Amino acid sequence: MGGELKLVRKFASDYDADFAMSELRSAGIPAIVLKDDAGGMFPQFQMIEGVRLMVREQDLKRAREVIEDS
């Protein structure tokens, strides 16, 4: 994905973020999940920063619509 990434939404768990990412990809919107859990060694870090669902700037509005509808 080229260009600047924008936050669609923060989630409390990677499970919820991965589900939302699947919804976006099914709608044709490229998306990635960013999390800081030290490579899985410290999943509790997700509670501090959250798990971020990111898309390209030009896809942000549509991505938020898809997430709200799911």
Q: What is the rounded CA–CA span in Å between residue 58 and residue 37? A: 28
Q: Tell me the two tokens of residue 8.
A: 């669609």
What CATH number is given for 5-69 in this structure? 3.30.70.1530
Residue 14 is predicted with a pLDDT of: 86
Residue 59 is predicted with a pLDDT of: 97
pLDDT of 49 > 80? The answer is no
All structural domains of the chain with their residue ranges = 5-69
Q: What pLDDT, in 10s, does the model give residues 15-48?
A: 999 999 999 999 999 999 998 765 556 666 666 6
Query: Would the pTM of this model clear 0.85, i.e. be above it?
Result: no
Q: How far is CA 65 from CA 9, 28, 29, 62, 70, in A?
A: 11, 13, 11, 5, 9
Q: What is the rounded CA–CA span in Å between residue 58 and residue 70? A: 20
Q: Name 10's bridge partners.
A: 52
